[in-house]
Structure 1
Amino acid sequence: MTQTVASFVRGWFREPLPTFELRSPSARWGTPRAAVPARAFRVVDVIDETPTVRTFVLAAPDGGAPALAYRPGQHLTVVVDIDGRTERRCYSFSSSPLTGARPAITVRRTPDGVVSRHLHDRVRAGDLLKALPPTGEFTLEPDSSARRHVVLVAGGVGITPLMSLAESLLVGERGSRVTLLCGHRSADEIVFHERLAALQRGAPDRFVVQYSLDAPPAGWAGLEGPLDGAAVRAAVGDQPVDEWFVCGPEPMMDSVREALLTAGVPDGRVHVERFSYASTAAMRIPEREATLRFAGSGRHVVARPGQTLLEAGLAAGVALPSSCTMGGCGACKVRTLEGRVVMREPNCLTDAERAAGYVLTCCAYADGDVAIAGH
């Protein structure tokens, strides 16, 4: 018995600290939670929407319909290996789960986008693509008995989740109306133009689309200029609106949200999708150890200096959810009960979530002891 205890103690102090990628049992740190595995999908079609935007249509690896449950407006976290590194990025569904169409994500190629460039330059029909389960709260559940007016405001490729929402509402709520406002730089950058026109033809009394262009061509009959808060309010006028969904560049979303709140629209009716990836460039990371107390299990976990709440919890075997691990999807959101954390910015938390004590464990560092609800 004495020999066994001595062996355990030696192992305790000799074993190196675990990394975030700990995947085997440890006498010191406990049994870690198995990582959520990425699923493989077959890319069955690649559609050029604009010169810089492509849609990737997905199927099961054998080419059949994938067993993929998702809600309108949610996104997939795509996992790719590039130059020896595993990269994760969130891309919204541009398809609707209610139409019977294959699931699809739509991606804009950006000059500094490591993953978007890879998808555009390397992925073709027939290739396999890995992704984590769908996540996201920028969504709604269509109600066949609903009679409401929903306004969707898109800036550029921000139309992607709104396309999913629009199709789902038109199919699932025959008594509801949808107004879609789309802002683009020029006419050749309008995404889903033909799909939206087909939806209008199919539901002319329930679906209205208005485009606003920064650089309109001669003879343009639509809106002109940035689709900011003032432009959105002018376009909708005094029509009663039950829900607002906004997705696009940060300045546009901030302007629209501020204009709506100023006009008296309740905060809970304004839904904003933020795909912001957190950075440590302008923040102070605490340089001391802290204790994390998980109220659900009563477990106490030590977070080392420079270790996020997610890293500390997973290393100790606490079953914390996560997906993109970059502050962009919200899958790792938890509520703090006590203590203070600092978070990398920008990230996808809303002001209301922050005020309620929510943090993203993937980009939050304990600045002293912290108590966390659940788990």
Structure 2
Amino acid sequence: MTLVVLPNISVLISIWMETLFYGMYVVLFFSSFFVLSRTRNAIVQSWVIRLATVLMFCIATTHMAVNVRRLVEGFILPATKAETLAYLYDIHQPLNIVKQYLWVFNNVLADGIIVWRLYTLWNIQVCVLPILLLLCTTAFGLATATSLLPQIGAGNSIFVSHFSRFATTQYAISLTNNVLVTSLISGRIWYVTREVRASGYATGSDYRRAMLVVIESGAIYALTQVIQLAWYVAKFPGLYFVADSFVQIMAIVPTSVVLLVALGRTLVEESQAAASGALSEMKFTSGATKSSRTLGSMKDGYGLDRVMSGPKFKSGERPTHSQVLLPPGPAEELA
């Protein structure tokens, strides 16, 4: 039996759910903006990151305002229930097209921030494929808003065949990109922190570390896209209830990442701080120069395994005091 959802019910529930997520996003945005205005963290001092964060909030707020306008035009202005249903069934209404454009622009900013986080943990070569996938998603989204949505006749749904094929491709590319970026970020976090955990300088509880990995990698956003694509392919009408909420979640996740980086509470930064604390307890015979070099390499993002990988001795060679990282003393103590 096919589940049938009336458009007046789906619109009301969808906007109500979006309002809940928007309320959470407002608190998160102003908190992050306050932190960004005061932080000295060099990673998030770029005006590009701050501008992207502000633009995402403006787009999410505009999307909320468009839905409120739809409530007025759909439930207050029509004189009869039949006119209300006719308006809500007409998905190529100008406000629906505006919402599609807002989704595209917000997706560019949100995925761009996640790719930026990938770049700060890896390098630009790793980001090439995610950037290309992001451009493809943007092209499909703009084509949908510009040519496909206006061609859908009144009474048709978003599951109509020619629109469905195009939208499925768009969602699939976006999901692939987010799963790829999430996996790369999570893998980098695991790589950088594994030596620190093994040395006994783990930061926080296992639950807290798991939560930080989920937030920092953008896994929540990837999960919502899995649900979105699965429900769309299955033509499940429940998608109408949560479709508008995706726009707010799309903004919440990257803003959370920026806030964590600004506060210095990411798992990578905390692990490097713990490793730096461990290394600061050691004494080097070469003085402050070697110590500052070692700690500096940790601040630059290198794993503890690179710092502790050497020195290596030849067979029968007698190591010096500086090579074994011990304080200076009589030669007999090293024998």
Work out which structure has the larger RCO, using CA pairs closer than 8 Å and 6 or more positions apart in sequence.
2
Q: Report the TM-score, using the length of structure 2 for normalisation.
A: 0.23
Higher helix share: 2
Higher strand share: 1
- Structure with the greater alpha carbon radius of gyration: 2
Q: Report the TM-score, using the length of structure 1 for normalisation.
A: 0.21
